[in-house]
Chain A
Amino acid sequence: MDMKSLYLLIALSPLAGSLIAGLFGWAIGRRAAHVVTILGVAVSAALSLKVLHGFLTGEASVFNEAVYTWLTVGGMEFSVGFLVDTLTAMMMVVVSFVSLMVHIYTIGYMQEDPGYQRFFSYISLFTFSMLMLVMSNNFIQLFFGWEAVGLVSYLLIGFWFKRPTAIFANLKAFLVNRVGDFGFLLGIGLVLAHFGGSLNYSDVFAAAPGLANATIAIFPGVEWSLMTVTCILLFVGAMGKSAQFPLHVWLPDSMEGPTPISALIHAATMVTAGLFMVSRMSPLFELSDTALNFIMVVGSITALFMGFLGIIQNDIKRVVAYSTLSQLGYMTVALGASAYSIAMFHVMTHAFFKALLFLAAGSVIIGMHHDQDMRNMGGLRKYMPITWITSLLGSLALIGTPFFSGFYSKDSIIEAVHASNLAASGFAYFAVVAGVFVTAFYSFRMYFLVFHGKERWMENHGSHHEHHGDHDDEEPSGDHHHGLGPNDKPHESPWVVTLPLVVLAIPSVMIGYFAIEPLLYGDFFKGVIVVNSEAHPAMAELAHEFHGAAAMGVHALQTMVFWLAVAGVALAWFFYMKAPHIPAAIKQRFAVIDRVLENKYYMDDLYFNLFAKGSRALGTFFWKVGDMLLIDGLVVNGSAKLVGFFSGVVRKLQTGFIYSYATTMIVGVLALMTLWFAQLIF
């Protein structure tokens, strides 16, 4: 099999599964639907692994070819093409592998759902779209994949479309993403206009260095650096998709979707699309310090402040969601520090351990009969041993325990920020270091609340109906939400649920140790990710100080970062195991801070009041004046009347009598004759 058909097979086999499950799901039944989709994704995963293996052993070479020309418009070619290099190969493995795990997990999680086949069809479609996105060799296809994953995400957040909160959440995700996409599209437009008229990556990157000092005047008289404007616009797209402050508001609400989706789309893959895009565009971003500073600031705000929100959540999925936001912030900071390879490294490790945490949370939710409130849990370790162990491993990876995968990527980020010489790196360094403590605290708060302590589901039943937070914490769907009765016991989930947990736990623990050296300091990303090491020496410095993965782990024991994490865990243990009255007391004492956090820094209210209500008011105005008066009154009704009048006239001519038809024909000839021989006749 040549490479082209191999890549086509990787991308298309999930699509085939999706189509079969989606179009013929009603005919083939549940079992066949999941078999066919899993088969499709498994093919992708296996072949992706093969591709990655090829790159690791040095057998494979970069593949950059148009596969199919979709349309040619005035010299512009819209083609479907694949660019497969090490970066792509890594993303392909992550996407298809996590997706495969989620597919298997879904069999157990969605067992009773009436939309079973639809769900499988969607997630396979997502896998296809995401693969198209990462494998693209041009901006158009990138944008197609970008929108396609957005669409599937929209569909899946609103999967339980009978729940108003789910509909609200998916609308929110959709709208917020539009803001990002708007920037992204503008960025692509600038690329098309100024980078040699091609949308192929290779052409654009080749044109970029020559444009490093080019300027454009968006407002007359004000010259801006072309590169900065382009990069920031592109990054705005990434902010939407990767949920960076201030476009992060949709991600927590997206937890309305089924948990496998939260794991696959809103933790492991789709939200990293923005980061992937920035890494892919590294030849552009390297040319603009301003853009990199901007990225770093946005990332560090997200990393720290979203972590704070994680502390006060009581919904198990929301804790994981905020932790995702915070981790995405970390990755963004790494991008800002020109440490693209570290960002991608963290994307990979995070994909594994965050998918693990989400799926574990889902397993807990199954065990608790779809009760998501942590205050009703506790002591679950006895009842759900596999979930407990895997969760613990995932949490340890998340907080950066030495030798765990998360440690290598996260610590590298912190080091890279430390080494960065950009203006924003000081603030960013503070944010990421403080973030370590916060992360450790909320992760283990969740861990202790869920798996240790008293078994609270017996005593406190019913409180989850009044737990804090806004409307969309609730799960009003009757068939899904019951929770445990006082006499029920949680139980371990079926093997289809626990198997993915175990399988995901392995890379969560180990992959960092093995991958750090080739990925960050070897030449895995050589020629793919471009870093201008003179202007941005962070990576070079890190490479200088790196003495192997084991040494890094040992060395970490004597750093502040490690002890901050330990302090976070210890504090969590003290607060939630030893002295549970303290958090309550703190909450009362610092009611103001608590309120700010509970209202998520009032971001939602701000958006809702300013944009939603404001645009509604604006819309009402335009509707009254523009639509009702001008368009409806004059244009639509007016032209409709005109059209009606006109067709009335024509109908009158169309009498049905042959002689009038013949006359019309003769008059037609006469008219043509008169027109063409005007000067002869007159």
Chain B
Amino acid sequence: MSFQTVVFYVLSAILIFASFRVITAKNPVHAALYLVLAFFTSAGHWLLLQAEFLAIALVLVYVGAVMVLFLFVVMMLDINFEKLREGFWRHFPLAGTVGLIMVAEMALILMSPEASLDQFKAAAPLAADASNVKELGRQIYTTYLLPFELAAFVLLVAIIAAIGLTQRQRKDTKFIDPAVQVKVRRDDRVRIVKMDAEKRAVADTDVVSEEQQA
């Protein structure tokens, strides 16, 4: 067993443990931190595959930006996680059994001699001066141009969706548009109603004042 293999198994074990704790940890901050751990170990896997750029991107983007945001949200919002997780342990036996069977079957299939995974050759090691970033860039902007552009649109849609779902016009806002204010004319504010004098003047003045308000 080579050193790399040992590292792989260690990383994988940590990854699985961390993932498990993400969904079982009681404290949401703990769960988020375990997620950070899971990302880190995944990044470790990338490194093993000589994909430094992806490893760094994973750490920078997910751990650095996304997870921090997550933690902020978790800590700032008063979400009752206990209530959200209600019934978790009640359903755990069934879900766990299904999951276990799934894993067992997958293992049996993939590790069977028919699957012959051992016959797959490892990718040829990159030349010493090969640049991960450069190669990735080349691929993205040539062969995978279309999927890459599509990804951009997926992000655009995500932005639209996020804004569309969250942005609200506050009803109590006192926002005033100066441009409209400047354009106001006298007729907009006051309307003079000519009328004959009548005895029952009380009711009429009411009407006039209502109209002015309108």
Residue positions of A touching B, CB distance < 8 A: 659, 663, 666-667, 669-670, 673-674, 677, 680-681
Contact = CB atoms under 8 A, between A and B. Distances in A.
14 contacts: A659-B95, A663-B98, A666-B99, A670-B101, A670-B105, A673-B105, A673-B106, A677-B105, A677-B108, A680-B108, A680-B112, A680-B114, A681-B105, A681-B108
B74 to A, nearest CB: 21
Interface of A is mostly: helix
A409 to B, nearest CB: 81
Given A680-B112, A680-B114, A663 B105 contact: no
B95 A670 contact: no
B128 interface: no
A278 to B, nearest CB: 70
Contact of A666 (B98, B109, B112): B98
A639 to B, nearest CB: 32
B203 interface: no
Nearest to B107: A681
Interface in B51-99: 91, 94-95, 98-99
B84 to A, nearest CB: 12
A670 B102 contact: yes
Interface of B is mostly: helix
B30 to A, nearest CB: 22
Nearest to A669: B102
B88 to A, nearest CB: 9
Contacts, number: 28
B102 A666 contact: yes
Contacts of B109: 673, 677, 680-681
Nearest to A662: B95
Query: A-B pairs with the 5 shortest C-beta distances?
Result: A680-B112, A681-B108, A677-B109, A680-B109, A670-B102
A298 B52 CA distance: 100
A659 B112 contact: no
A667 B108 contact: no
Nearest to B106: A673
B107 to A, nearest CB: 10
A431 to B, nearest CB: 88
Given A666-B102, A677-B105, A680-B112, 19 more contacts: A659-B95, A663-B94, A663-B95, A663-B98, A667-B98, A669-B102, A670-B98, A670-B101, A670-B102, A670-B105, A673-B109, A674-B105, A677-B108, A677-B109, A680-B108, A680-B109, A681-B105, A681-B108, A681-B109
Interface of B: 91, 94-95, 98-99, 101-102, 105-106, 108-109, 112, 114
B169 to A, nearest CB: 31
Could you say which of A663, A666, A680 has the most chain B C-beta atoms within 10 Å of its C-beta? A680
B63 to A, nearest CB: 27
A680 B108 CA distance: 7
A677 to B, nearest CB: 5
A663 to B, nearest CB: 6
Contacts of A659: 91, 95
A319 to B, nearest CB: 82
Contacts of A674: 105
Contacts of A670: 98, 101-102, 105
A677 B115 CA distance: 11
A666 B91 CA distance: 15
A463 B106 CA distance: 97
Nearest to A659: B91
B129 to A, nearest CB: 44
B106 to A, nearest CB: 8
A49 to B, nearest CB: 67
Contacts of B108: 677, 680-681
Nearest to B102: A670
Contacts of B99: 666
A666 B100 CA distance: 11
Contacts of B95: 659, 663
A666 B101 CA distance: 11
A673 B109 CA distance: 9
Nearest to B110: A680
A130 to B, nearest CB: 62
A673 B104 CA distance: 12
Contacts of B91: 659
A7 B105 CA distance: 70
A677 B107 CA distance: 12
A673 B94 CA distance: 19
Contacts of B114: 680
Nearest to B99: A666
A670 to B, nearest CB: 6
B100 to A, nearest CB: 11
B102 to A, nearest CB: 6
B212 to A, nearest CB: 52
A681 B98 CA distance: 16
Contacts of B94: 663
A674 B109 CA distance: 10
Nearest to A673: B105
B137 to A, nearest CB: 36
B95 to A, nearest CB: 6
A426 B9 CA distance: 109
